[in-house]
Amino acid sequence: MIGAQQQAPSGEEKTDKLPKYFMFGILAGIAFILVFGSVIIFSPHRGGSYTSTGFAKIKPQLYATGLTHDGAFTVVLTNGVGTNIRMTSGKVVDLNNPGYSCMIASELFVPKMIGPGENTKISYAAPTGCVKAGNPGDVYNAKIILNYEVNISDMQTMHTETGTLRGPME
């Protein structure tokens, strides 16, 4: 029996220590829930987590991507194509606010030429007009269209990558 006193062969009483460790485990579990629950509740990103959909070959790095409440927009993308690519253009569309969008000129990709597994960064200073400004914690929802070129054996092919980014404004 758990926690029961048992008669030892020598005639002395023996107490089972399982209840003490069991209570310690319960208290440690409650402390864990309280600490990490408060981190989630009091997180400055009230709008939820960062997510992306789409983006089959060129992947956004979600925690290096963001939109400030005044409209500055940054996206870091990783080349998952498997060969060198050259970023040519793109477009950002605010899905929450029709009428807000902007083109991405090739000069905004830094660097333009990206090797397999390497990153490029797109930055717009505030206000961009790409997405509507808001308050910290408001959720942005932006469609990103990326045009890139692949050059294999002196044959160039154009490709388009499309996806959606969602996250809290900072």
Contacts of 29 (CB under 8 A, 6+ apart): none
* Residue 149: pLDDT band with limits 50, 70, 90: very high
Q: Is the pLDDT of residue 17 over 80?
A: no
Q: Are 29 and 96 contained in the same domain?
A: no
Say whether both 34 and 69 belong to one domain: no
Across 9-18, 44-53, 112-121, least confident range:
9-18
> Are residues 158 and 137 located together in one domain of the fold?
yes
Do 13 and 59 lie in a common domain? no
pLDDT of residue 119: 93
Answer yes or no: do 74 and 35 share one domain: no
**Is residue 151, in this structure, part of any structural domain at all?**
yes
Whole-angstrom Cα distance, residue 33 to residue 162? Answer: 38
CATH at 84? 2.60.40
What's the rounded mean pLDDT across residues 60-81?
A: 87
Residue 36: inside a domain: yes
* Predicted structure pTM score: 0.67
- What percentage of the chain carries pLDDT values higher than 70? 74
pLDDT tier at 18 (50, 70, 90 boundaries)?
A: low
Domain tally, the chain = 2
**pLDDT higher than threshold 90 for residue 111:** no
Q: Are residues 145 and 90 in the same domain?
A: yes
Q: Is residue 46 part of a domain?
A: no
Q: Which domain holds residue 20?
A: 5-41
Same domain as 98, residue 18: no
Rounded Cα distance, 50 and 66, in Å: 9
